[in-house]
Chain A
Amino acid sequence: MSSVTAAPKAQKVFAPWDDPDATPLVEFVDVRKQFGDFTAVNGVSLKIFPREFFALLGPSGCGKTTLLRMLAGFETPTSGKILLDGKDLSRVPPNLRPVNMMFQSYALFPHLTVEDNIAFGLKRSGYGRKEMEERTAEMLQLVQMKEFAKRKPHQLSGGQRQRVALARSLAKGPKLLLLDEPLGALDAKLREQTQFELMNIQEKTGTTFVIVTHDQEEAMTVASRIGLMNKGSLAQVATPGQIYENPDSRFVADFIGDVNILEGRAGKGLRRDGEEVTGFEYAGGKLSGRANEAIAPGATAWLAIRPEKILVSKTAPKDKSLSNVLEGRVHDIAYSGNLSTFHVRLDNGAIVKAQEANRRRLAKREIVWEDKVWLAWTPGAGVLLAR
């Protein structure tokens, strides 16, 4: 669970990945998967800990679904191992794994009622009749679908089917629940609502969730950690806050949220505004940013600075703490009701995006097209990237 939504009791932050003694529930050991000539997964090593809500994020074709399916047992790795609770899963068929999956299409059995769908897995686990009924009722209660028990899938709405699918996949109380793009088919409002429901259910049942999604906002909302994948490999594995504030490559910085990437040269270490930053030479000027790894001065580097961190003004900034300054002309303004995104064209032709909340009404807006403006941000707001 993200520390943002931690309960107001003892602030023990959930972070087993930082604990060297914690044992992972799932471990991928150098897993590769090849389909003919195409390498879908290229040497992935990853540890997922109990009670995590882990998100596998990435663009289409990055291998996240393949990785999930290998965990479920529908694909076998070409090389490498997958361990669950320390046991090698390679010889275990999907029906014998303590893992359950919620499918993208929900895959509800159309010829069975909601009840029978949920009880389907229970029947095959040696549950007695009474236990089955109790457990089914419990699951229906969990997803609030009690009144729909006797209906058939085609009589339900998309959101209702999704809940039945979730209940069915949790019925057997698996150690690990896999979710394959579960919210893709829902409209925006329902999606938001369901995200929080999912998080609550995950907390309540204590199950480890691994979700595959291409929607980075979704991943940021629900996940305790995000594994961002690109072309078969893991680009970065970190908490949402970490991955947003401290991306370790341009790919990561660009994939999550909106970002400006400026290409220049790394400079020396500096001390500004009470923190250690690294210099950055760009377009003849000197900027700075936080470097999370050592970059040789003079080497090509990139500065990733988020639009919301940049202040726009019609006059040169006087505040000394805003040591990063660029000048340009307003090329375009994107208005989305609550925010305005200024696309500012610098002298070297690059366009930098700066985003501000619309604290004033449109009619009272000060900065308009073609205005000459200054962009400014604090020394450590941007991140210096080596790749």
Chain B
Amino acid sequence: MTRKFSWFNATSLAFGFAFLYIPILLLVIYSFNASKLVTVWAGFSTRWYGELLENEAMLDAAWVTLRVAAASATLATVLGTIAAYVLVRMGRFRGRTLFSGMIYAPLVMPEVITGLSLLLLFIALGIDRGLFTVILAHTTFAMCYVSVVVSSRLVTFDKSLEEAALDLGCTPLDAFFSVTLPIIAPSVVAGWLLAFTLSLDDLVIASFNTGPGATTLPIKIYSAVRLGVSPEINALSTILIAFVACGVITASLLEKRRAVAAGGN
């Protein structure tokens, strides 16, 4: 449908995107600034990248963060997919309202509350804080996001496909793995990526629930940033942004190609 695209619309878009992207662009530009000072441009330099790569503590933190993100994303995807299936396909069951509440609440719950409550739980259970507790914490809130992504796909999923599978001899579990999962796979992957990103980026919950030797990158960045602007952080930010940008662009291109292949529906 062709809609009227007015000058006002174009201006709104321009300002909106400018607002969104100028801070990011500035970060990137100044990561190449030879001078430490933000307001003085002293020439193009990659020295901060060099210093970043020699910063052992940062690299360690990055490694911890990647492991936590991968583990919690995978666990969150499994749990979240099951939760989505329960919400969409299982109809009414006792305690469904509570379940639904527990799935949606974490999406908006302030992180300080989630972080604190989980920490107190771990202490009450006598679990030592470290890598493991951060993974558990991240899994818990990420699974809710995965659940929302997967359930919005399941809602439009043709139920008769599952019925056909049963009719042809599948057990319900078989039907899920042979028919449902392959078809909703893109959403499940999207859920995994979302959970991965959320974990990668989390500061507050990790701060509450981490332990010795399990310092994550956001925690490191935060402590650096409290002291003011740091060009090394600019460099790190640029790397992360480039990484994410590539990922999102690739995903969009793949999605476009898949849509065309499926008959341009």
Contact = CB atoms under 8 A, between A and B. Distances in A.
Contact of B167 (A95, A105, A111, A154): A95
A124 B170 contact: yes
B171 to A, nearest CB: 6
Given A95-B169, A124-B168, A124-B169, A105 B158 contact: yes
Chain B contact residues (Cβ within 8 angstroms of A): what range? 20 to 34
Contacts of B170: 95, 124
A125 interface: yes
Interface stretch (A96-104, A304-312, A359-367): A96-104
Given A109-B179, A111-B182, A124-B174, A101 B263 contact: no
A158 interface: no
A125 B129 CA distance: 51
A321 interface: no
Contacts, number: 62
A72 interface: yes
Q: Which of A101, A104, A169 has the most CB of B within 10 A?
A: A101
A1 to B, nearest CB: 26
Contact of A110 (B163, B166, B178, B183): B183
Contacts of A121: 167-169
Interface in B148-207: 158, 160-161, 163-171, 174, 178-179, 182-183
B262 interface: yes
A172 B168 CA distance: 8
Contacts of B161: 107, 109
Nearest to A174: B167
Chain A contact residues (Cβ within 8 angstroms of B): what range? 20 to 34
Contact of A74 (B163, B169, B174, B178): B163
Given A109-B179, A124-B170, A94 B163 contact: yes
A103 B164 contact: yes
Given A107-B158, A120-B168, A154-B263, 11 more contacts: A72-B167, A94-B163, A94-B166, A94-B167, A96-B169, A107-B164, A109-B164, A109-B179, A111-B182, A155-B263, A172-B169
A104 B160 CA distance: 9
A120 B169 CA distance: 9
B164 A101 contact: yes
A93 interface: yes
Contacts of B265: 154
Contacts of A125: 169
Contacts of B168: 95, 100, 120-121, 124, 168, 172
Interface of A: 72-74, 93-96, 99-101, 103-105, 107, 109-111, 120-121, 124-125, 154-155, 168-169, 172
20 contacts: A73-B167, A74-B166, A94-B163, A94-B166, A101-B167, A107-B160, A109-B161, A109-B164, A109-B165, A109-B183, A120-B168, A121-B167, A124-B168, A124-B170, A125-B169, A154-B262, A155-B263, A168-B168, A169-B167, A172-B169
Nearest to A119: B168
B52 to A, nearest CB: 44
B166 A105 contact: no
Contacts of B262: 110, 154
A169 to B, nearest CB: 8
A182 to B, nearest CB: 13
B253 to A, nearest CB: 20
A161 to B, nearest CB: 13
Given A124-B174, A154-B262, A154-B263, A107 B169 contact: no
Which 10 interchain pairs have the tightest Cβ spacing?
A121-B168, A124-B169, A107-B164, A107-B160, A94-B166, A154-B263, A103-B160, A111-B182, A101-B167, A95-B166
A359 B165 CA distance: 54
A107 to B, nearest CB: 4
B264 to A, nearest CB: 10
A257 B167 CA distance: 35
Nearest to B179: A109
A325 to B, nearest CB: 54
B92 to A, nearest CB: 11
Contact of A100 (B160, B167, B171, B178): B167
Nearest to B161: A107
Contacts of A168: 168
Nearest to A104: B160
Contacts of A105: 158, 160
Contacts of A124: 168-170, 174
A95 to B, nearest CB: 5
